Homo-oligomer: A and B are copies of this chain.
Amino acid sequence: MQTLEITPAAEELLLEDAPHQFVFSFHEGNGKNKQLLGGKGANLCEMTQIGLNVPPGFVISTEACLTYLASADKSLPAGVIDQVVENMKAVEIATGKKFGDAENPLLVSVRSGSALSMPGMMDTILNLGLNEDTLQGLLNHTKNERFVFDAYRRFIQLFGKVALGVPDAKFDEVFEAQKHKAGVKVDIGLSAADLKEISRLFLQVVKDVTGKPFPTDVYEQLEIAIKAVFNSWTGKRAVDYRREFNITPQMANGTAVNVVAMVFGNMGNDSATGVAFTRDPGTGENIFFGEYLVNAQGEDVVAGIRTPKAVIELKTEMPSLYQQLEELRSKLETHYKEVQDFEFTIEKGVLYCLQTRNGKMNATAMVRTSVEMAKDNILSKNEALLRIKPDMLEQLLHPRLDSLHKSIPLAQGLPASPGAASGVCVFDADRAELLGRAVEKVILVREETKPEDIHGFFASQGILTSRGGKTSHAAVVARGMGKPCVAGAEGIEVDVKLRQARIGEKTLHEGDYITIDGGTGYVYQGVIPTVDPTFSDELKLLLTWADEVAKLKVFANADDPDAAKKALTYGAMGIGLCRTERMFNASERLPIVVEMILANTEEERKAALDKLLPIQRQDFKDILLAMAPRPVTIRLLDPPIHEFLPGEDELKEELIHLRHLKDTAAGVSNLTNSLRLLHAENSMGALTAFPFNDKGVELIDQAIVKKEQMLKKVHELHEVNPMLGHRGVRLGLTFPEIYKMQIRAVLEATAECQKVHIDVRPEIMVPQVCTAEELVRVKAYVEEIKAEVQAQHNVTPVFKFGTMIEVVRACMEAGELAKEAAFFSFGTNDLTQATFSFSREDAENKFLPLYAEKNILHDNPFEVLDTNGVGKLMKVAVEWGRKEKPDLKIGICGEHGGQPDSIRFCHQLGLNYVSCSGPRVPVARLAAAHASLGEAKNASL
């Protein structure tokens, strides 16, 4: 539990004799000193001092609060009451009203306000100063008996609860009884007389519970209220809130109290109340955006009994006040350099600004206002950039659920790839392809996915899995394709055979519509409308400003020509990671890859590779051409090859099916073909497409042999910890022909382009390197093939050769590696796994949630780069690498490459580029600019 801390200043005060300033009028208080005055108090002071017409009032400081709370007898510090009285006099003069006066009574609100916003966590009392006498004065001024008694009964209840500790239930009981008696269902139905009666009864409740009559002395009311607000700082609600949000004493220590004259917009037709934004918060358009009601209170605008008018109508209704409001609007933006969301009240022809704060806007509006405010010289370009949190841009780049449609989620998984999509659920890739072709929108729902499901990805709008984390196959592939994905939704049980999934009591059948939101991880039943992404001219302009100040280049991860072209539209300055194995997954290629894996001899393997060569060459050529003259970093095969084979369980099941089919086929061999087909369909489910002619049994036998071979290979290739297994360069050195094929494909594609003077810039990258010797060996393959390609094409292919740094040992050997490599690319996904000894897939399902909840780790290191561990290794690698080769190009291509904090760290390390998924490129460009600007700012301090 958070304990109360007495600051040294407060302690000193406890010992002091002379009176000390605890109370500050809005004209005196330092608008920047939130620690002393609280956020709200400082804001009121600032508004007052820049000349806005704020209702007069004053702040009682947080120091007063802490001193009070630490006092043995819970008495207000010496001088506070005197200073309050003195300030009340000033308020009386400013308002022309008198506190406790029966003619023209001054009423005040008493509100808490700490340095850090803690919405609703502490207490507020309105209309303080009411008693039987002052009521009359208020009635004279408002001519609204109902309003006055409503205000009165509210004051009694709030004060009773907050200041006197009367349980709310006591009041509610009385209130409900009165409603029943009056025969009304809603509060609004109560008449002035009812409310008057309720006020009377409330006073009785207070007397019954506290044993004392409700205080009628207004200064007594005020003192009790101030103490009550101070006490609320150590109340359960506030303490829990601070614990929940980790608010330390450094962030907010004690609450201030704001005492403000009440103003009323319901004092007649020369009064009004309203709320407004200085610009349209939905679109960012530079128009005055707001609503008001004449002769009304703030809560009437919200209550919806009367329809508020657009603020523009005030122009005709109260032209001079509209003019003042326009001036207010302009003053606010010029001063705050930010779109403001403010409240105003007109009391008898006088405009008051009650509150202002930065307007909450969506990303579209943020971008537009940034650009326009910069053009209008309200902001500098750099301020315009810094105003937008990079992550916010993400909203603009994926379809998202229409926020107008609320719905209760069916299940929740991990938000694995952003964006939202709806479609009918299907439970295997073949069905997805089939139904997807039938122009149905499809969501592929699987326990987990494998490379062989890839055709299902192509056919689907989005992917939902019940197992796996944010680096599961499904997540990574979906992100690469820019499709939404929810992964590891553990509540869902998929039954492929029955073509259904169970979620608790509910069953989803194939064909039922669902909607997934890859930004939140929620899964909904039915179709929820989505909003398409917009890449506006303003955004484009803003990002060119970002590029001008950023030191880091921003590359994209893209695995095929289409993705490369798409990355260009996001402003990618190159490809930082092209995962060549992804090219293996297309449905016409996977069989060749499987053939290669099943090969028993080097010759068989080479024969399969010979078929892959022209395909990869064409892919590389298309990507290189699309990106020319930007660099394209091509990573040689990385994953363990068993990833290209189906799983053991699946193969076993298929074999059972096939054997069953064989028996059946043999058994029905004297039936007609059509009957057999029917029969097979009934007994086989997904395998109906099996060619079932007269040679059926023979074909089935062949299929059985093939599947048995695959099963054997799957056993052979089984690994205990595949993440740390036979993959990357280890595979490349064990089966040199695979890497040689890939290198040849790159260099031939390069030569073909460079021969006709197209400036393509391939960079060959070796994954999983742990020692320089591995690079030396692969470099030898490269040199050998380069010579052959040169001879064949009569042109020297120009390219770079470099290495991933994703193994811890590679960091330790960075100097040696730099001798062999022209560039380094940090693979921080794997590096983080190895540095923490966390398998991401396991950690995110098993213990990372607990580590986050208990704050053992501040951030998920797979989302935010761990600068204390992984970062130190990277620093060492950069230092040692550049010491050996000062012009070493260094980048990052892990997922952290698109995360703003991590990008800032990469900037500080002096990297040359970050690479991230296409849709994160704009985010990264802005973050890179922020990093430069942040450094400049620090340098100027």
- A interface with B by C-beta (< 8 Å): 719-726, 730-731, 733-734, 768, 770-771, 773-774, 777, 806-809, 812-813, 830, 833-839, 841-843, 846-847, 850-851, 854-857, 866, 868-870, 872-873
Most B C-beta atoms less than 10 A away, residue of A841, A856, A872: A856
- Determine whether the beta carbon of B773 is less than 8 Å from that of A842: no
Partner of A842 from B721, B847, B851, B873 at Cβ < 8 Å: B721
Q: Which residues of B contact A726 (CB under 8 A)?
A: 842-843, 846-847
Residues of chain B lying within 8 A (CB to CB) of residue A812: 835, 868-869, 872-873
With contacts A723-B724, A725-B843 known, is A836 near B856, CB below 8 A? no
A837 in contact with B768 (CB, 8 Å): yes
Q: Closest CB of chain B to A256's CB: distance in Å?
A: 34
Chain B contacts for A834, CB-based, 8 A:
808, 834-835, 837
Whether A719 touches B842, Cβ cut-off 8 Å, given contacts A733-B847, A809-B836, is: yes
Residue of B nearest to A773 (CB): B856
The reply to whether B866 and A809 form a contact with Cβ atoms under 8 Å apart is yes
Contact A723 B721 (CB under 8 A): yes
Chain B neighbourhood of A847, CB < 8 A: 726, 730-731, 733-734
Closest Cβ of chain B to A651, distance in Å, is: 14
Nearest-Cβ distance from residue A84 to partner chain B, whole angstroms: 46
Q: With a CB–CB cut-off of 8 A, which chain B residues contact A777?
A: 854, 856
Which B residues touch A841, using CB under 8 A?
A: 720-721
- A773 to B869 Cα, complex, angstroms: 14
Judge whether A869 and B721 touch: CB under 8 Å: no
* Alpha-carbon separation in the docked complex, A725 to B722 (Å): 13
**Cβ-closest chain B residue relative to A856:** B773
Q: B839 contacts A720, CB within 8 Å?
A: yes
Contact (Cβ within 8 A) B813 A869 = yes
- Take A719-B842, A868-B812, A869-B770 as given contacts and tell me if A724 and B850 are in contact as well, using a CB distance cutoff of 8 Å: no
Query: Considering the chains assembled together, what is the distance between the CA atoms of A720 and B813 in angstroms?
Result: 29
Tell me if B850 and A837 are in contact (CB < 8 A): no
Assuming the contacts A720-B722, A843-B725, asked whether A774 and B856 have C-beta atoms less than 8 A apart, the reply is yes
7 contacting pairs across A/B (C-beta < 8 A): A722-B842, A723-B839, A730-B847, A771-B856, A809-B835, A809-B866, A809-B869
Assembled-state Cα–Cα distance A731/B847 (Å): 8
Residues of B within 8 A of A771 (CB): 856-857, 869
CA distance A724 to B840 in the complex (A): 8
**How close is A874's CB to chain B, nearest CB, in angstroms?**
11
How close is A705's CB to chain B, nearest CB, in angstroms?
20
Q: Give bound CA distance, A808 to B835, whole Å.
A: 5
A724:B869 contact, CB within 8 angstroms:
no
Which of A806, A807, A869 is the most central at the interface, judged by chain B CB atoms within 10 Å of its CB? A869
Q: How far is the CA of A838 from the CA of B809 in the complex (A)?
A: 11
Tell me the bound Cα distance from A369 to B872 in angstroms. Answer: 52
**From residue A780, how far is it (CB to closest CB) to chain B in Å?**
12
CB distance B724 to A856 under 8 Å? no
Considering only CB atoms, which chain B residue lies closest to A872 in the complex? B812
The chain B residue sitting closest to A724, CB to CB, is: B839
**Within the complex, what minimum Cβ distance (angstroms) separates A541 from chain B?**
42
User: Do residues B807 and A725 form an inter-chain contact, with CB atoms below 8 A?
Assistant: no
- B873 near A808 with CB under 8 A, answer yes
Which B residues are in CB contact (< 8 Å) with A866? 809
A724-B842, A773-B856, A808-B837 known; 20 new pairs, CB 8 Å cut-off, are A719-B842, A721-B724, A721-B842, A724-B839, A725-B839, A725-B843, A730-B851, A733-B856, A734-B846, A734-B847, A770-B837, A770-B838, A773-B857, A777-B856, A806-B837, A807-B835, A812-B869, A812-B872, A830-B837, A834-B835
**Residues from chain B with Cβ under 8 Å of A868 in the complex:** 809, 812-813
**Cβ contact within 8 Å between A724 and B809:** no
How far is it, in angstroms, between the C-alpha of A855 and the C-alpha of B850 when the chains are bound? 44
Instruction: A499 to B36: give the CA distance in the assembly, Å.
Output: 82
CB distance from A436 to the nearest CB of B (A): 29
In this complex, which of A722, A733, A773, A846 has the most chain B Cβ atoms within 10 angstroms of its Cβ? A846
Residue in chain B with minimal CB distance to A832? B809
Q: How far is the CA of A836 from the CA of B721 in the complex (A)?
A: 13
Picked from B839, B850, B869, the residue with its CB within 8 Å of the CB of A734 is: B850
* B residues near A730, Cβ cutoff 8 Å: 846-847, 851
Return A502 CB to nearest CB of chain B, in Å: 16
A733 to chain B: which residues have CB within 8 Å? Answer: 847, 850-851, 854, 856
> Given B720, B806, B837, B846, which contacts A807 in the complex, CB threshold below 8 Å?
B837
Cβ 8 A contact of A721, one of B722, B851, B854 = B722
Residues in B with CB closer than 8 Å to A854 are: 733, 777
Which chain B residues lie closer than 8 Å to A839 at the CB level? 719-725
How far is B720's CA from A725's CA once the two chains are assembled, in angstroms?
12
**What residues on B are CB-neighbors of A813 within 8 Å?**
868-869
Most buried by B among A731, A774, A777, A834: A834
A722 CB to closest chain B CB (Å) equals 7
* CA distance in complex: A813, B806 (Å): 19
Min Cβ gap A470→B in Å is 13
Considering only CB atoms, which chain B residue lies closest to A725 in the complex? B842
Shortest distance between the CB of A503 and any CB in chain B (Å): 18
Question: In the assembled complex, how far is the CB of residue A548 from the closest CB belonging to chain B, in whole angstroms?
Answer: 36
- 5 smallest CB-CB distances across A and B, nearest first, come from A721-B839, A724-B839, A809-B869, A726-B846, A725-B842
A825 to chain B, nearest CB (A): 16
- The one of B773, B807, B855 in contact with A836, judged by C-beta atoms closer than 8 angstroms, is B807
Shortest Cβ distance from residue A812 to the other chain B in the assembled complex, whole angstroms: 4
CB nearest to A728 among chain B residues: B837
Once bound together, how far apart are the Cα atoms of A841 and B720, in whole Å? 7
CA of A548 to CA of B131, assembled, Å: 94
Known: A812-B835, A834-B808, A857-B773. A846 touches B725 (CB 8 A): yes
Q: Chain B: which residue is nearest A833 at the CB level?
A: B724
Given A807-B836, A812-B835, A834-B835, A720 contacting B723 (CB threshold 8 A)? yes
Q: In the bound complex, what is the Cα–Cα distance between A726 and B850 (angstroms)?
A: 12
CB distance from A265 to the nearest CB of B (A): 53
Query: Complex: how many Å from CA A842 to CA B640?
Result: 11
- The winner among A733, A809, A873 for most chain B CB atoms within 10 A is A809
User: A720: which B residues are within 8 A, CB to CB?
Assistant: 722-723, 839, 841-842
In the assembled complex, which residues on chain B have CB atoms less than 8 Å from the CB atom of A857?
Answer: 771, 773
Query: In the bound complex, what is the Cα–Cα distance between A722 and B837 (angstroms)?
Result: 10
CA distance A809 to B870 in the complex (A): 7
Q: Give Cα A839 to B807, complex, Å.
A: 12
Rounded to whole angstroms, the CA-CA distance of A512 and B861 in the bound complex is: 54
Which B residues lie within 8 Å of A869 (CB)?
770-771, 808-809, 812-813
Query: CA A869 – CA B769 in complex, angstroms?
Result: 13
Q: Name the B residues within 8 Å of A806 (CB-CB).
A: 837
Measured between C-beta atoms, what is the minimum distance from A476 to chain B in Å? 14
What residues on B are CB-neighbors of A837 within 8 Å?
723-724, 768, 770, 806-809, 830, 834
A835, B834: Cα distance in complex, Å: 7
Contacts of A851 in B (CB 8 A): 730, 733
A408 smallest CB distance to B (angstroms): 27
Q: A722 CA to B839 CA in the complex, in Å?
A: 8
A808→B870 CA distance, assembly (Å): 9
Q: Which residues of B contact A770 (CB under 8 A)?
A: 836-838, 869
Q: How far is the CA of A726 from the CA of B872 in the complex (A)?
A: 25
Q: For A723, what are the chain B residues with a Cβ–Cβ distance below 8 Å? A: 720-721, 724, 837, 839
Contacts of A721 in B (CB 8 A): 721-724, 839, 841-842
Residues of B within 8 A of A843 (CB): 724-726
Which residue from chain B places its CB closest to the CB of A855 in the assembled complex?
Answer: B773
A338 to chain B, nearest CB (A): 37
Residue of B nearest to A866 (CB): B809
Q: Which of chain B's residues has its CB closest to A838's CB?
A: B724
- The complex places the Cα of A842 from the Cα of B718 at a distance, in Å, of 9
**Bound state CA distance, A726 and B837, in angstroms?**
10
Most buried by B among A730, A733, A830: A730
Shortest C-beta distance, A143 to chain B (Å), equals 64
Separation of A839 and B813 alpha carbons in the complex (Å): 20
Bound complex: CA A628 to CA B677 (Å): 79
Inter-chain CA distance A900–B834, complex, in Å, is 27
CA distance A734 to B854 in the complex (A): 10
